[in-house]
Amino acid sequence: MPPKFKKFLLSWIVNTFAVLVAVYIVPGLRFKDSSFWTPFVTSLVLGILNAFIRPILDFLALPLLFLTLGLFRLVINAILLYLVSLLLGNYFEVRNFWSAFLGALVISVISLILNTMTGTGNSRLVIQRRRRPPGSDDDGGGPVIDV
């Protein structure tokens, strides 16, 4: 299996799990269909909208993104989740904007955590233990805080 395809599948599974958690936690989100494939299709449509529509919405909302220091992206995510509900009306339902907002927040947090843990996202967490420089004193006198 090619590495890019494997990364895509892992990311899709992570996002599907995030959508499932959001539907379970947020009262205004629900699957209308009890099919096994409904969460997978929902996360796939959400991923497609994030890939194609989100950059356009980010560009149009650029002044608001600057003004709110990026927090308006949560509103954009809520709009995209609501758009998924409109496209998959027979399978996925978002009752109101606040349900979409909270659902998008849950999906974003769960996806960020799981993508970081699995290495499929763009963010990387690196923990390194560094050695003391040669010639440094071991007793150091305690912590130093530079402000």
Residue-wise pLDDT for 57-113, tens only, equals 999 999 999 999 999 999 999 999 999 999 998 899 999 999 999 999 999 999 989
pLDDT at 8: 86
Cα 132 to Cα 15: distance, rounded to the nearest angstrom: 41
C-beta of residue 10 within 8 angstroms of C-beta of residue 120? yes
Helix and strand counts by DSSP (H, E) for the chain? 6, 2
Q: Tell me, rounded to whole angstroms, the distance of Cα 24 from its chain centroid.
A: 16
Cα 71 to Cα 79: distance, rounded to the nearest angstrom: 14
pLDDT at 81: 95
pLDDT at 137: 59
C-beta of residue 26 within 8 angstroms of C-beta of residue 93? no
**Range scoring the smallest mean pLDDT among 14-23, 31-40, 76-85:** 31-40
High-pLDDT (> 90) share of the chain, %: 62
Is the pLDDT confidence value at 11 over 90?
no
Q: Tell me, rounded to whole angstroms, the distance of Cα 95 from its chain centroid.
A: 21
pLDDT at 139: 58
pLDDT at 145: 61
What pLDDT, in 10s, does the model give residues 48-58? 999 999 999 99
